[in-house]
Structure 1
Amino acid sequence: MTPLQSGPFDPGAEGQNTHLVLENARGQLSLWPAWRAVPQGWSALFGPAAHEACVDRVEARRR
């Protein structure tokens, strides 16, 4: 039996590097699970890092 992977928006265990912050050519950001492949047209801007750290990075860019 294979282990289950977290859902894309599941913050995962606290303190674990579960997410990335992605950016596209338009400067749009996306919170992305680290276990998924980065989609074409996007690149990793930050991470892998804990979910909270990635959310903080996205929020900081909004200010």
Structure 2
Amino acid sequence: MSPRPGPFDPGAEGRETHLVLENSRGRLSLWPSWRAVPAGWSAVFGQAPHPACAGRVEARRR
């Protein structure tokens, strides 16, 4: 077992484990908060629990 959760592991309930990132094309990505934000992306929401971040990404799809 690795010491860090996988990038898409929701983590413990209620813990602020994720970010929502956006790139210059307006695309969103659900991202684990413990990983560095990649070049070309910026955090637009979070740190927040996984369900809150996933909800933000999903809402944009509609």
TM-based fold match above 0.5: yes
Gapped runs of 5+ residues in structure 2?
Answer: none
Following TM superposition, the consecutive aligned residue runs of length 4 or more in structure 1 with deviations greater than 3 angstroms are none
CA offsets 1:15-55 (integer angstroms, 9 cap, x no match): 00000000000000000000000000000010000000001
Give the TM-score normalised by the residue count of structure 2: 0.94
- 1:13 Cα deviation after fit: 0.1
Q: Which amino acid aligns with 1:52?
A: P
Percent of pairs identical after alignment?
A: 74
- 1:60 Cα deviation after fit: 1.0
Give the TM-score normalised by the residue count of structure 1: 0.93
Matched with 1:49 is 48
Q: Which amino acid aligns with 1:38?
A: V
- 1:61 Cα deviation after fit: 1.1
Larger-gyration structure (1/2): 1
Matched with 2:12 is 13
